Structure 1
């Protein structure tokens, strides 16, 4: 709820259409009265739209209503307000997903037909975000987001086809959904489509896939699998488990073609690339206290802080168990080498390689200190120039003494 309020406040504050002061005051008052209740928040926005049907903030309010309706699980409101949002912005991915899935859950044929229309649009928008050719690089997180989104879009269409009794079409869509990303819901849709076609043995295999892919409905999945095929449940579960493990290994290998650090969950597991193309495996620094400096060429305070790091390094110059690693966060990597040359900085600099995301680096400069086991031991967001040298020195000494 707090996130929805913040998002709405930002869109109203920075959106192109500014609403009149009187209307703004009434809206603010209504939202304040709603407090933390999502239901009261919905009531306040709907009343505001009734009173001000021509408000300049209508699109922002409708979009906030869709998000709030998702939070309360109100499919009727998701569909009502989402359709209005999509009439203005037909490629809004979040709203396309919400409306498609809401319609697919309703369960009647008219809603299923509409779910197919929105679902195909959702799929089309996702496919338009795919790289144009093999040379176009995308982040591994983006690759996984696209795979998961496509799986959900195809899964919702499969659900709609099941409602319409078109089981062959549903089977094809569900199979593609599970191939894109093996969600348990995709496997369930595949199993239900196959049962509708009388393909009971194939359905049992899909129920087994659902069982090993997730745990939300495991008892129901196991019961359905046994009903579809009375014998061999253990063998089917083992086969499904092997299929899932094989897919997971292939997924990791595929994502690491985009980024060698994909799905790594600890800083010490990362490998970072230097400005000159050299590699540094942070695991090679185990046994040392490692000071990570996150900086960027455009960051003024980073320039002030840089010589202060040198002062701290001098204090530990005689030790081989302290390492300073400079991690650049620029999006345009081509800016870094010329910057280092122009400012006469050491070229012993690496690109952050996804560590910023892992460590939630939201501002720079940021200093992160790893202990000798490769664990985060301290963190400094920003810096105080007059205290930085002493603060960092004290923290490194403390961690060395652990």
Structure 2
């Protein structure tokens, strides 16, 4: 069990890449990271085709021409001798937030052991950080635990090689080239030695897994020693995460959301989309699962109903802070895991509803469903194997047109059914 837990953390590290500024629910059909147009690429039976090393040098020269400028010689020195990393391409196509059922991901990421350890570690959050940025310490330790197991698993890949591989692979080239340029600048400007610029397969760095652009813009020297060290300083890492969330619009005095109970008459087409104040949802029979009501500030906010595992699973009222967490990692499962971990640290009880025990979807099932929906005129925003908001919206339209419960949830059996069409 210890090995399985550590493996889950390692897989999660690369997928947890803090990001700004894409807004929530904008073209969320791609893998974790800043949102970019999806570009289809060849797939093998067990995942994306391995990168072709023969074309890497040509891409590199193009990158230097596009981004080198006055620093071309310095960039070229750091890129010398690099080859693409096939493991990066494989992991990019199989991120756990998107490939596993929400319940399986959340129950592992927000486990009782994780909550207990986060509660034990909460004293590491400097008292001035929540006061300055308005982000609760419970949220910060939840992110810290999920991103790097409290600094223990930060990733040991060469960030520059990982980002060069993602840029060369081409699915998110513009984003990856921008991140690569920033990573090179970190080294060239002397902010971090190349040997210490280590992180995940996605280029996320340090205890709170910052992408290079956010390290440069939002990294905080909390200790006052003249450098931002998110690798070795708990204080710097946690303050940087708080700064990122505050910049993304964290609402002071508000939580991320609540578990809710839906009436039998609930219109499932209203889920995962329209936002309304609490009084609008309450008038349609929605109640908080454990009773009560949101506080006065929360009740005035526009909120959505989320069904991360369809009509058969738990339902949530997602307040604006849920979407702020998704600016850190644009995954419903990730944001729920952070919110529920923070709730547990704060002593709140667990969920009322149980998660369905759905099997995970294979990459071929996800791709097959996207291709089938697209062929029938239900645009998924691309065929990338990531079941994001675009794919769920397309599925919801197909379900409504075919007399199904329009909850936008893709089960393995439904994926197989679509794949046969």
Higher helix proportion, which one? 1
Higher RCO, 1 vs 2 (CA within 8 Å, ≥6 residues apart): 2
TM-score scaled by length of structure 2: 0.26
Q: Which one has the largest radius of gyration?
A: 1
TM-score scaled by length of structure 1: 0.27
